[in-house]
Amino acid sequence: MPKLIDGINDPKELRALPQASLPRVAQEIRELIIDKVSATGGHLAGPLGAVDLVVALHYVFQTPEDQLVWDVGYQAYAHKILTGRRDRFGTLRQWKGISGFPHREESPYDLFTIGHGGTSISTALGLVRARDHQGKRNKVVAVIGDGSLPEGMALEGLNHAGHLKSDLLVILNDNKMAIAPAIGALTHYFTRIITDPLYNRFRREVESVMCRVPRFGFRILRAGKRLEESLKNLLVPGIIFEELGFRYFGPVDGHNLDEMISTLNHLKGLPGPKFLHVRTVKGKGYPPAEQNQWKYHGVTPFDPATGEFLKKPQAEGFTQRFGQAMIGLGRKDPRVVAITAAMPDGTGLVEFSKALPGQFYDVAMCEQHAVAFAAGLARGGMRPVVAIYSTFLQRGYDQVIHDVCIQNLPVVFAMDRAGLVGDDGITHHGLFDLAYLGALPRMTLAAPKDLDELEAMLAFALRHNGPIGLRYPRGGVLRFHPEWAMDLPKEAAPIELGKAEILSQGSDLALVALGSMVYPALEAAKLLEGEGISTTVVNARWAKPMDMALFAGLVKEHRALLVVEEGVVKGGFGASLLAAVEEHRSNGFAVKVMGIPDAFFEHGKREILLAQAGLTPSAMAASAKELLSRSPVYAR
């Protein structure tokens, strides 16, 4: 039997189908998601749970004229399939394939390129006001998940939207957070009543008549509104949204397409701010994902028939070592507390939360609060560690300045996913932390070259009396030539504040590498050795403060200096280093910084992206030779 989705290349073709066929469309979309994500990896449970909601939205609203704004966006896989990207869905999150999140350059149906939570209500409200200023009549819908709703930005957007009273529909896709237990026949009956057009027309007419009744009209009207609000308080968990200026509707079953379509059709005709609470099941339609929703939230390739993951267990990486080290440090010192913003698994803190639950805080998707909360803990005598992706710490930047650095508090920022993160792409790369944190007085920044150094740096950080950040990449130590054995010192130099580590001694070129670039730099040195070029390789360790005595000596003792970092060149570690050693340079001494150029990078395997950025051993060796060609040989 031909599949219905094979004939849907545009939502208009979906809307041409009879409503009775939509459950089949939803089932076919789920099958496609399972089939393709099992091969490519990606988010799974969330997108499966949102399929029916996506189908209903595109069936009711005249997209793209009516505008859908997604929050975070991984729940929008079905949206991609219905908006002309079905045939490319197998390229999901692959190099030069489609993004795992909405991307404005992919489709006119994607209003924004997104990957962070809490943004949809604010951006949708901006679209609403732009529409109103231009006298247009299209509808705007913001979809937000229960994990994003506590975000400060989301609540700010709700507050402003309720104040403006513009026509906006906010949909809460609630697949986890129990806002209240108010579900059942009576709730559904009441929701159907208050969304029905006849009821709302009658309500407006009664209000108009009551307002004309002398003396008692307004009193009667207020009493009627209080009655409706009282019923809502008893039956539905919507009072907070009502107080913010929204009319609240729900909860409704997000997998009952007939109910969803009926509700959306009714709400489409209501003016003003509206909030629809939709209950969905994460992983809907795929038993392994329904039964273990967190495990199948984000997946590597798996067997769709059994749900078993195909990839062998990966070797220990930075995230896992961080988590294990935290358990040991937390047991030794009860002042050590770990904080995550809704990412206990991604930051390696799941086992810590089980081993030391009294020293663990998950503050939900609220990065600003996480940082300020850590400041309060530190001021009270604790030793907080904020475990956070580099890209998400950007969201708490003001708190890093105002609440941590100005106060000079001992807060440790464990910045996972620093550098190019791979398949999650443009919104998730952690490329800016060295630049945005390096500018802050009192901030200390370190980057370990390997897992052992991370563990030693973490122990040091918890003894440090001031703000300190540790940045480390996704996965483990990256080796472009795993078969090459590196001649490293038998014992690593102890961790000392601002002291770098010399890994090999040469005479022609000084190659200073930070963190994740140290092992690729060693490989580059081996390539250069084969061409007769003697290279000193330095593990910088510290981006701030830097080992200025060592670096000044390198400038005096070599013909050229090459600095390599997995961060933006503008304002990064290398720029600071070159500025600091400028006075020590002699005529003809060549210098260069290799890092991430002034551009945003899309998704793809990390090795591919590093090659695109020119951060490979062969590219380093080529840059080194070009530098030396510009630097005359001189007597030492």
> If we measure between CA atoms, which residue out of 295, 270, 5, 7 comes closest to residue 139?
270
Weakest mean pLDDT among 229-238, 261-270, 528-537:
229-238
Q: Rounded distance, CA 412 to CA 370, Å?
A: 12
390 HSE (CA, 13 A, CB side): 31
Q: Rounded distance, CA 388 to CA 418, Å?
A: 10
Residue 256 has pLDDT above 90, yes or no: yes
Q: What is the mean pLDDT of the chain?
A: 88
Weakest mean pLDDT among 314-318, 372-376, 630-634:
630-634
Task: Taking residues 430-451, report their average pLDDT.
Answer: 97
Question: Which pair of tokens denotes residue 213?
Answer: 């009744």
The band of 215, judged by pLDDT with boundaries at 50, 70 and 90, is low
Beta strands in 127-209 (DSSP E): 140-145, 168-174
At residue 15, the pLDDT reads 96
The band of 594, judged by pLDDT with boundaries at 50, 70 and 90, is very high
Q: What b-and-e string marks burial along 173-200, b requiring 16 or more CB atoms within 10 Å of the CB?
A: bbbeeebeebbeeebbebbbebbeeeeb
At residue 216, the pLDDT reads 54
Residue 210 has pLDDT above 70, yes or no: no
At residue 201, the pLDDT reads 60
- The torsion of the CA quartet 30, 118, 469, 452, rounded to 10 degrees, works out to -10
Weakest mean pLDDT among 41-50, 536-545, 613-622:
41-50
At residue 194, the pLDDT reads 53
At residue 634, the pLDDT reads 43
Q: What angle do CA 424, 430, 436 make, to 5 degrees?
A: 150
> If we measure between CA atoms, which residue out of 229, 247, 251, 261 comes closest to residue 184?
251
Give per-residue pLDDT as tens, 106-123: 999 999 989 888 899 999
Amino acid at 413: F
Phi, psi at residue 288, to the nearest 5°?
Answer: -60, -40
At residue 489, the pLDDT reads 74
At residue 235, the pLDDT reads 45
> If we measure between CA atoms, which residue out of 78, 97, 71 comes closest to residue 32?
78
Residue whose pair of structure tokens reads 């209240």 in the numeric block:
180
> If we measure between CA atoms, which residue out of 288, 281, 322 comes closest to residue 302?
288
Task: Taking residues 493-519, report their average pLDDT.
Answer: 95
Weakest mean pLDDT among 342-346, 409-413, 615-619:
342-346
Higher pLDDT, 140 or 175: 140
Length of the chain: 636
Percent residues over pLDDT 70 in the chain: 88
348 touches 319 (CB < 8 A): yes
Q: What b-and-e string marks burial along 323-345, b requiring 16 or more CB atoms within 10 Å of the CB?
A: bbbbbebbeeeebbbbbbbbbbb
Higher pLDDT, 22 or 213: 22
Task: Taking residues 564-569, report their average pLDDT.
Answer: 96
Say how far residue 513 (Cα) sits from the centre of its chain: 27
Helix pair angle (185-195, 257-268), 10° resolution: 30
Catalytic (active site) residue 395: yes
376 touches 409 (CB < 8 A): no
Q: How far apart are the first and last CA of the chain?
A: 81
Catalytic (active site) residue 215: no
Phi-psi region of 158 (alpha: psi -120 to 50; beta: other; left: phi over 0): alpha
Say how far residue 109 (Cα) sits from the centre of its chain: 21
pTM of the model as a whole: 0.85
At residue 189, the pLDDT reads 47
> Which CA distances in Å does 453 have to 163, 445, 457, 548?
52, 14, 6, 21
Task: Taking residues 78-93, report their average pLDDT.
Answer: 92
At residue 199, the pLDDT reads 52
Contacts of 553 (CB under 8 A, 6+ apart): none
Q: Which of 282, 321, 383, 544 is catalytic?
A: 282
Residue 81 has pLDDT above 70, yes or no: yes
Amino acid at 584: H
Beta strands in 175-332 (DSSP E): 247-253, 273-279, 298-299
Question: With the C-alpha atoms ordered 340, 341, 343, 346, is the resulting torsion angle positive or negative?
Answer: negative
At residue 128, the pLDDT reads 96
At residue 203, the pLDDT reads 57
Give per-residue pLDDT as tens, 119-142: 999 999 999 999 999 999 999 999
Say whether 184 sits in a helix, a strand or coil.
coil
The band of 222, judged by pLDDT with boundaries at 50, 70 and 90, is low
Residue 563 has pLDDT above 90, yes or no: yes
At residue 430, the pLDDT reads 95
Neighbours of 30 (CB within 10 A): 20
At residue 264, the pLDDT reads 96
Catalytic (active site) residue 282: yes
Task: Taking residues 502-524, report their average pLDDT.
Answer: 95
The residues pairing with 361 across neighbouring beta strands, listed in sequence order, are 339
Q: Which of 93, 321, 395, 471 is catalytic?
A: 395
Q: Which of 367, 453, 455, 501 is catalytic?
A: 367
The band of 636, judged by pLDDT with boundaries at 50, 70 and 90, is very low
Q: Rounded distance, CA 608 to CA 615, Å?
A: 10
All domains of the chain in start order, with CATH: 4-178+247-289 (3.40.50.970), 183-235 (no CATH), 318-471 (3.40.50.970), 502-629 (3.40.50.920)
At residue 115, the pLDDT reads 86
At residue 184, the pLDDT reads 47
At residue 174, the pLDDT reads 87
Give per-residue pLDDT as tens, 276-310: 999 999 999 999 998 888 888 888 899 999 988 88
At residue 183, the pLDDT reads 39
Q: What b-and-e string marks burial along 363-388, b requiring 16 or more CB atoms within 10 Å of the CB?
A: bbbbbbbbbbbbbebbeeebbbbbbb
Residue 69 has pLDDT above 70, yes or no: yes
At residue 195, the pLDDT reads 58
Task: Taking residues 153-180, report their average pLDDT.
Answer: 83
